[in-house]
Amino acid sequence: MKSKSSEARFLFTSSEQSADAYYLTGVFIPDPFLSGVIRGRSFAVVNRLEYRRVKKYSKLDSVFLLETVQLEAAKLHKIEIKSVGPAELIYYILSKYKLSKSLEVPASFPAVHYSRLQLLGVKITICGDPFFRQRAIKCDEEALAIRLANAASASGIRAAEKVLRMASIDGKLLKYKGRTLTSESLRLVIEKACLHKGAVANNTIVACGVQACDPHEIGFGPLRANELIIIDVFPRLRKSGYHGDMTRTFLKGVANDAQRAMVNAVRDAQLAALKQIKADVSGSTVHKAASNVFSERGFITERRGDSFIGFIHSTGHGLGLDIHEYPRISTSSDRLRIGHVITVEPGLYYPDIGACRIEDVTRVTAKGGELLSSMHYRWCFR
Amino acid sequence: MKSKSSEARFLFTSSEQSADAYYLTGVFIPDPFLSGVIRGRSFAVVNRLEYRRVKKYSKLDSVFLLETVQLEAAKLHKIEIKSVGPAELIYYILSKYKLSKSLEVPASFPAVHYSRLQLLGVKITICGDPFFRQRAIKCDEEALAIRLANAASASGIRAAEKVLRMASIDGKLLKYKGRTLTSESLRLVIEKACLHKGAVANNTIVACGVQACDPHEIGFGPLRANELIIIDVFPRLRKSGYHGDMTRTFLKGVANDAQRAMVNAVRDAQLAALKQIKADVSGSTVHKAASNVFSERGFITERRGDSFIGFIHSTGHGLGLDIHEYPRISTSSDRLRIGHVITVEPGLYYPDIGACRIEDVTRVTAKGGELLSSMHYRWCFR
């Protein structure tokens, strides 16, 4: 499947915020800048703070100096330089390359420049995510980068596990080096371990007991014995920009039957989902494999007042330069393709028992999936 | 100056990416969601993964469950639930609150939803940055948060300084604990120190010699004796979301006259700029105070081939929930107002000498500026 592309495609965003802009340029630029592809050749327009660096290190075909292009655009539009915005720059580039006044922009293109281009009479097609469709298909080099990022995740989780194992139980609390062990202190251990692997982790989840029943609660305060603790680590490699994303659930102390049944169900759901994964299988088939394990074992999913309990999220999502990207593995989703890299992370959330999520990352192949994350699944220790 | 506000203002973005969305909600939500202000009351529409957490911890007046609002919007539009996007949600909310079909969105509002709203016949006003103008005026609590974030920056810079002081000089290289000291290893020391202060630092600059002449080059490889090393640390506090932003320039070994003259000029330019700062002064006056020091001392700014040399950037920028925000302190900029928090960071960049930048943060008061960052200015040690 080859996507038909316009002759001119433009982005206006920072490559720290936009995975598409980083994919195109290969360099991190902190402030928004104009970039794109014209007749198959990539370019960016950057200011003098970035120019030499971007010329030297980017993978772009052409790098233009903003101050020069602004001057030329001002002449064309017969306006002052300070009135030249991204829309005027784009219009100027279309003129310079004798392109028809039509172009493509990403869904996230800023409305302010979109509306200005409309006023300039440019015909604009807004594309779906990702702007560069190829971004969903990971080559070997990208898969290796994601593997390295997951090694950083695993390093963080292992560091946390080690602390949990060495901690002592003091009533309901955990003590480590004379202090009460908290979500915050364990997060620090994890994120330092990630830094040592060249990856920056942010919002690492270390959530215990009922806190973990809100899947995006990062966790705070004392960790408690005999309760499930979700640890979800999704660092970004500084060098390549790729993310890892791994989750393990631990329990320090003694697990009860409900906790055991839940953890076993989540791991079995993950295995059932992983078993389905190969090219041409629908993401919904994968999701259904996981949810079937839960419903067969009586783990129901429903709303109770303000709470949602059970398997309340999708089975997974694409992973790459963005932490959440195409494709989604949920009730309705597209067919998997060779090279898709996805997380497989079923979970169960019951405020009266606690929460469990187990997450690994796999790359879709013709015959199955190639795991890009690796760590054991032992979860309960005294 | 009171800004006239529309009855209905909408954002569709993640509060991790958008400072405006975080300012409004007070909670970090990783995926894009609808939020805004209707007749002066704030709200957000979040999915079931976020609902309970956001209801509990956000500062919003109202939190709505996405799944419920989607259902109601689908009925209004007579479409399937899966066809309800942000534009349909917004249209539904306008109808429900009997608002005229007009609204305000930020400049960065996604084009895809903007164009859909146009098709639905909604009149849209696109606002300038920041969407919430009040965000530029920092109250005491915000100033304290920025002070804490700068304490994290300072802690990182001090940790780096300590390593540089303890390092030994081995020819042109620096040795620490038996290894060659690099940008990477010093960055690790800094970012770990920031984590200990509850702040996540990313892309910390540790750039030596000619590398530092590209202001956004984060630096790599061995640090060298007798060369200027720029260290620029801009972490974000995990709890409050506010940034610190501090820079110091060090030299390990012996400085030559050109390096000394440059560092002295930069510090004097910073002092000259700081002296100008008070309410009602134009940002350009502040910038001019710094550039005058440089031109008086013969430090010229110009283009040389692909390089720009001299004082090649602005004097500073607003600092808050965004690392670069309104106002800018450059050749053309607005008048400072009480409560503006700005960086003051003149710098000089000459590939044959090296680069120097010194940066602190100040809050504008009626009579001057209140420094929100603190660290000594000693820079040269053997």
Q: Residue-wise pLDDT tens for chain B (382 aa)?
A: 334 457 899 999 999 999 999 999 999 999 999 999 999 999 999 999 999 999 999 999 999 999 999 999 999 999 999 999 999 999 999 999 999 889 999 999 999 999 999 999 999 999 998 999 999 999 999 999 999 999 999 999 999 999 999 999 999 999 999 999 999 999 999 999 999 999 999 999 999 999 999 999 999 999 999 999 999 999 999 999 999 999 999 999 999 999 999 999 999 999 999 999 999 999 999 999 999 999 999 999 999 887 899 999 999 999 999 999 999 999 877 999 999 999 999 999 999 999 999 999 999 999 999 999 999 999 999 9
DSSP conformation letters of A17-31: T-HHHHHHH-S--SS
Cβ of B50 and A307 within 8 Å? no
**Is B223 inside any structural domain?**
yes
CA distance A193 to B195: 11
As for how many domains chain B has, the answer is: 2
Cβ of B126 and A115 within 8 Å? yes
The structure tokens listed for B234 are 């801009």
Q: What are phi and psi of A226, to 5 degrees?
A: 65, 15
B220 and B308 belong to one structural domain:
yes
Of B100, B115, B135, which residue constitutes the final position of a domain? B135
3-state helix, strand, coil in chain A (%, to 5): 35, 30, 35
A32 and A157 belong to one structural domain:
no
B177 and B309 belong to one structural domain:
yes
pLDDT in the model for residue A2: 37
A338 in Cβ contact with A143 (< 8 Å) = no
Residue of B nearest to A63 (CA): B306
Smallest Cβ–Cβ distance between A188 and the set B82, B110, B196 belongs to: B196
Q: The domain spanning residue B27 has which CATH number?
A: 3.40.350.10
**pLDDT tens for residues A36-62?**
999 999 999 999 999 999 999 999 999
A226 and A210 belong to one structural domain:
yes
Smallest Cβ–Cβ distance between A126 and the set B111, B203, B323 belongs to: B111
Residue of B nearest to A351 (CA): B52
Q: Which residues pair with A35 in a beta bridge?
A: A11, A44
Taking CB atoms and an 8 Å cutoff, what residues of chain A touch B115?
114, 126
CA distance B370 to B360: 11
Is the predicted pLDDT of residue A101 greater than 90, yes or no? no
Taking CB atoms and an 8 Å cutoff, what residues of chain B touch A215?
49
**Is B243 inside any structural domain?**
yes
CA distance A44 to A25: 8
**Is A319 inside any structural domain?**
yes
**Is B88 inside any structural domain?**
yes
Cβ of A188 and B202 within 8 Å? no
**pLDDT tens for residues B181-193?**
999 999 999 999 9
pLDDT in the model for residue B5: 57
Cβ of A216 and B30 within 8 Å? yes
**Is B2 inside any structural domain?**
no
A210 and A174 belong to one structural domain:
yes
B246 and B127 belong to one structural domain:
no
B258 and B359 belong to one structural domain:
yes
Measured in residues, chain B has a length of 382
**pLDDT tens for residues A219-260?**
999 999 999 999 999 999 999 999 999 999 999 999 999 999
How far apart are the CA of A26 and the nearest CA of chain B, in angstroms? 14
The DSSP symbol for A336 reads P
**Is A2 inside any structural domain?**
no
Cβ of A203 and B306 within 8 Å? no
CA distance A143 to A321: 11
Residue type (1 letter), B142: E
pLDDT in the model for residue A5: 57
The residue ranking higher by pLDDT, B1 or A266, is A266
Of B101, B135, B169, which residue constitutes the final position of a domain? B135
**Is B184 inside any structural domain?**
yes
A100 and A224 belong to one structural domain:
no
How far apart are the CA of B98 and the nearest CA of chain A, in angstroms? 25
The structure tokens listed for B339 are 């409560």
How far apart are the CA of A329 and the nearest CA of chain B, in angstroms? 16
Q: Can you give the pTM of this predicted structure?
A: 0.96
Smallest Cβ–Cβ distance between B48 and the set A111, A115, A312 belongs to: A312
How far apart are the CA of B372 and the nearest CA of chain A, in angstroms? 23
The structure tokens listed for A222 are 């004392």
pLDDT in the model for residue A201: 97
Cβ of A200 and B192 within 8 Å? no
Is the predicted pLDDT of residue A3 greater than 60, yes or no? no
DSSP conformation letters of B9-37: EEEEE-TTT-HHHHHHH-S--SS-EEEEE
Of A112, A135, A158, which residue constitutes the final position of a domain? A135
B315 in Cβ contact with B287 (< 8 Å) = yes
Smallest Cβ–Cβ distance between B126 and the set A111, A203, A303 belongs to: A111
A74 in Cβ contact with A80 (< 8 Å) = yes
A152 and A280 belong to one structural domain:
yes
Cβ of B324 and A31 within 8 Å? yes
Q: How confident is the model at residue A315 (pLDDT cuts 50, 70, 90)?
A: very high
Identify the CA nearest to A174 among candidates A186, A191, A156, A159: A186
A371 in Cβ contact with A358 (< 8 Å) = no
Smallest Cβ–Cβ distance between B203 and the set A28, A106, A216 belongs to: A28
Cβ of B188 and A196 within 8 Å? yes
Q: How confident is the model at residue A306 (pLDDT cuts 50, 70, 90)?
A: confident
- Three-class SS state of A98: coil
**pLDDT tens for residues A328-371?**
999 877 999 999 999 999 999 999 999 999 999 999 999 999 99
B270 and B290 belong to one structural domain:
yes
ipTM of the complex: 0.95
How far apart are the CA of B75 and the nearest CA of chain A, in angstroms? 21
Taking CB atoms and an 8 Å cutoff, what residues of chain A touch B16?
203
CA distance B311 to B295: 9
A120 and A142 belong to one structural domain:
no
B27 and B65 belong to one structural domain:
yes
A243 in Cβ contact with A197 (< 8 Å) = no
Q: Which domain holds residue B283?
A: 137-381
